[in-house]
């Protein structure tokens, strides 16, 4: 891990690191906020997965999470959304390729040599940060849009690893959405049977979740038809899954929406992690 930058924030530290990744086969960058308590001992960690076109930097600078993490005594990690660099496959469209890893392990060329974001988020990066930073082995996970999809699917598939899960405007039913079918077919192939493990609505119906779930969705989100929050809400109702899908009047898909409800989510995770 090479330290790229360090800034003091709410008496804690906002750090950015880069490192060579064996999983993605390229250099990866990620950000970590450590609250003041991390100077005296280990703290729980909340993973924040970002959406399409984002890097580690978007939520770090626009989400306003640092104040809430400092107040609640938890760390927040902001990974990148995809592998990057020369030699990494890309596409002219904003919703495929670099910036759009979709948190899957690609099995098709030209994506499979580098696009292994599922393994990177669930295995390599956690191992790296746990070895080098003052983090307790208690984890929550959240994310926005594509990152909300990642947070939900990763938590549902790994309940032994995560103690809490929430999402901001997640892509909840990608197997039935243009934000999903395009990417899943490109990365995983045309056999839709391989897609279901990356669909939170289908996973929740099959597996359920051990605790409650918090989802916030802007009611004026310009991408509602692609996100399909009603599908996840229906699956929660069918399974009688504890949790909430909150439709927030007047809010869109932007970081103004995320930053408005960031405090709710950080406090919600902290209550379950501390």
Domains delineated in the chain = 2-271 (3.40.50.1820)
145 is catalytic: yes
pLDDT of res. 172: 98
The single residue of 95, 205, 216, 221 carrying the catalytic annotation is: 221
* Catalytic, out of 56, 253, 265, 269: 253
Contact of 209 with 156, CB cutoff 8 Å: yes
So what's the pLDDT on residue 18?
A: 98
Annotated catalytic, 164? no
Q: Which of 9, 21, 50, 145 is catalytic?
A: 145
Give the pLDDT means over successive 10-residue stretches in the chain (274 positions): 97 98 98 98 98 98 98 98 97 97 98 98 98 98 98 98 98 97 98 96 97 98 98 97 98 98 98 96
pLDDT of residue 173: 98
* Beta strands 164-168; 213-218: pairing state: parallel
**pLDDT tens-digit series, residues 81-126:** 999 999 999 999 999 999 999 999 999 999 999 999 999 999 999 9
Q: What does the H/E/C string look like for the chain?
A: CEEEEEEEECCEEEEEEEEEECCCCEEEEEEEEECHHHHCCCEEEEEEECCCCCCCHHHHHHCCHHHHHHHHCCEEEEECCCCCCCCCCCCCCCCCECCECCCCECCCCCCCCCCEHHHHHHHHHHHHHHHHCCEEEEEEEEEECHHHHHHHHHHHHCCCCCCEEEEECCCCCHHHCHHHHHHHHHHHCCCHHHCHHHCHHHHHHHHCCCCCEEEEEECCCCCHHHHCHHHHHHHHHHHCCCEEEEEECCCCCCHHHHHHHHHHHHHHHHHHHC
pLDDT for 8:
98
Q: Active site includes 265?
A: no
Model pTM score: 0.97
């Amino acid at each position: 891990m090479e330290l790229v930058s360090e800034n003091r924030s709410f008496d804690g530290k906002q750090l950015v690191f880069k490192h060579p990744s064996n999983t993605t086969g390229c250099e990866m960058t990620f950000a970590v906020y450590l609250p003041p308590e991390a100077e005296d001992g280990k703290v729980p960690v909340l993973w924040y997965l970002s959406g399409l076109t984002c890097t580690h930097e978007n939520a770090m600078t626009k989400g306003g999470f640092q104040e809430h993490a400092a107040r609640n005594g938890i760390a927040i990690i902001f990974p990148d959304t995809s592998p990057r660099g020369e030699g990494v496959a890309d596409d002219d469209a904003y919703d495929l390729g670099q910036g759009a890893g979709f948190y899957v392990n690609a099995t098709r060329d030209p994506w499979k040599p580098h696009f292994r974001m599922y393994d990177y988020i669930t295995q390599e990066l956690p191992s790296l940060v746990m070895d080098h930073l003052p983090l307790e082995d208690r984890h929550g996970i959240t994310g926005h849009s594509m990152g909300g999809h990642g947070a939900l699917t990763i938590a549902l598939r790994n309940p032994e690893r995560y103690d809490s899960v929430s999402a901001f405007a997640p892509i909840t039913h990608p197997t039935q959405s243009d934000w999903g079918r395009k990417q899943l077919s490109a990365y995983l192939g045309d056999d839709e049977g391989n897609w279901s493990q990356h669909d939170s609505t289908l996973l929740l119906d099959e597996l359920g979740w051990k605790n409650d779930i918090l989802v916030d969705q802007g009611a004026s989100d310009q991408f509602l038809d692609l996100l399909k929050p009603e599908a996840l809400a229906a699956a929660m109702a069918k399974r009688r899954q504890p949790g909430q899908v909150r439709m927030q009047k007047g809010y869109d898909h932007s970081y103004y929406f995320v930053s408005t409800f960031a405090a709710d989510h950080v406090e919600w995770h902290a209550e379950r992690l501390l």
